[in-house]
Structure 1
Amino acid sequence: MSMLLRLMRWINRLNRGVGQLAAWLCLAMVALGTWNVVGRYLGRTLGHNLSSNTLIEGQWYLFDLVFLLGAAYTLQQDEFVRVDPLYTRWGPKGQALANLLGTVLFLMPFCAVILFYSWDVVVSSWINREMSPDPGGLPRYPIKAMILVSFGLLLLQGVADVIKNGAILTGRLRVEAIAPPPLAQSGVPSLSQLPPDP
């Protein structure tokens, strides 16, 4: 089990880093979007175009990257929208079981289907070096490849969640939100107390 927990921690670190990258890309996206708006109106005043299709598509691509790269991190942080009123009333093991079943029955098959059906589209785009049809547009093939990267990361995070919820159900891991037992506890680590990697 300790090897699986190390794998879980590695996946969590990977997706945390990718999530931080997505957060920085938000700033770049806002900056580029602001320039596209300001450049359009300022350019009219100056009689010179200060924006371009390249910049506009760059803003779209940054939005795509934020959304695609942020998905696995959002799952890791348990920030997806939940509409189940029963879930919040269940204890940690009930929630872990629901999360485990949802991940195995829905998330992982969904990711596998997306990866399977996207593969040919992405490969074809790379072979043909697909470009934007707009003048001055950006290449499309790199951004299409991010579909595979995104759902690959989401699938990996699903594996990490299966390990985490399995460990909670078997009592090898306790949930942080629960008040810890008295100091003379049984030695079951919490998520933040997992041993460092060798």
Structure 2
Amino acid sequence: MKALLVLSRWIDAVNIVIGRAVTWLILVAVIVSAGNALIRKLFSMSSNAWLELQWYLFGAVFLLTAGYTLLKNEHVRVDVLSQRFSPRTRVKVEIFGILLFILPASLVIMWLSWPVFVDAFVHNEQSSNSGGLIRWPAKLLIPVGFALLVAAAISHLIKCIAYLRGLCADPTQAANSGSSEQQLAEEIGRAAAEREQALQHRNL
């Protein structure tokens, strides 16, 4: 069990790094959207590439942070029912949901989406819109995103089993207090502080 918990921590670390990095794509999407709108209004110029880039960025944020969202216990649950359960019963329901819903569905989608990406990559599939982007990077996001979700589900399953054995804290409880927005702002602030400290050490 200890080895599995180490694996769980590694999976969580990967999802945290990817989740923190991908959140910046929201800012990029906003800048692209605003810039495209301004250029269209001021110069009567536009491009399908910019519109599709916004869709790609949205897809990346949605898919690549699925595992990170599970790690933070922010996936939708029927809280009206789960709040009435004891912590151990809630964790058992969580295990049931992982084994019967999250893992099977995610594995099937990951498996079926991979040939779609490979076909698009081999044929260098292009957008059907004039001036649009190549399609395979967007299609790659699907298997990669669901692979991260599968990994996060396995990590969560390990922690649930460990909790029932008395080896770790309740994984269904959020680690931090406050709203999701506050937690995200705190994480971004911590990441910026870590980068600043690293730069200071390099300059010394």
TM-score w.r.t. the length of structure 2 is 0.80
Aligned CA-pair RMSD: 1.5
Q: Secondary structure at the match of 1:174?
A: coil
1:8 alignment partner in structure 2? 8
Question: In structure 1, which of residues 88, 91, 94 is the aligned counterpart of residue 89 of structure 2?
Answer: 94
Structure 2 contact 110–144 (Cα < 8 Å) conserved: no
Between structure 1 and structure 2, the one with the greater Rg is: 1
Q: What is the Cα deviation at residue 84 of structure 1?
A: 4.3
Correspondence 1:54 to 2:13: no
Correspondence 1:66 to 2:66: no
Structure 2 contact 160–170 (Cα < 8 Å) conserved: no
**Structure 1 stretches of 5 or more lacking a match?**
179-198
In the TM superposition, what whole-angstrom CA distance separates every residue of 1:23-48 from its partner, at most 9, and x where no partner exists?
A: 1001001111111111111113xxxx
Q: Secondary structure at the match of 1:79?
A: coil
**Structure 2 stretches of 5 or more lacking a match?**
175-204
In the TM superposition, what whole-angstrom CA distance separates every residue of 1:90-132 from its partner, at most 9, and x where no partner exists?
A: 2221121111110011100001110222122111111111111
Q: What is the Cα deviation at residue 160 of structure 1?
A: 0.1
1:39 alignment partner in structure 2? 39
TM-score w.r.t. the length of structure 1 is 0.83
1:116 alignment partner in structure 2? 111
Aligned length: 173
Q: Secondary structure at the match of 2:65?
A: helix
Q: What is the Cα deviation at residue 89 of structure 1?
A: 2.0
- Distance in 1, Cα, partners of 2:25 & 2:76: 23
Q: Tell me which amino acid in the other structure corresponds to 1:121.
A: V
% identical equivalent positions? 40
- Distance in 2, Cα, partners of 1:81 & 1:70: 14
Structure 2 contact 29–57 (Cα < 8 Å) conserved: yes
Question: In structure 1, which of residues 86, 94, 103 is the aligned counterpart of residue 98 of structure 2?
Answer: 103
Structure 1 or 2: more helix by fraction: 2
The runs of at least 4 consecutive aligned structure 1 residues that moved more than 6 Å come to none
- Distance in 1, Cα, partners of 2:167 & 2:110: 32
- Distance in 2, Cα, partners of 1:147 & 1:168: 31
- Distance in 2, Cα, partners of 1:62 & 1:17: 17
In the TM superposition, what whole-angstrom CA distance separates every residue of 1:146-174 from its partner, at most 9, and x where no partner exists?
A: 11100100000011011010001111112
2:146 alignment partner in structure 1? 151
Q: Secondary structure at the match of 2:130?
A: coil
Q: Tell me which amino acid in the other structure corresponds to 1:149.
A: V
Question: In structure 1, which of residues 76, 79, 94 is the aligned counterpart of residue 74 of structure 2?
Answer: 79
- Distance in 2, Cα, partners of 1:86 & 1:24: 35
Q: How does 1:19-34 map to 2 (within 5 A)?
A: 19-34=19-34
Correspondence 1:160 to 2:155: yes
Q: Secondary structure at the match of 1:120?
A: helix
Q: Tell me which amino acid in the other structure corresponds to 1:72.
A: G
Q: Tell me which amino acid in the other structure corresponds to 2:10.
A: W
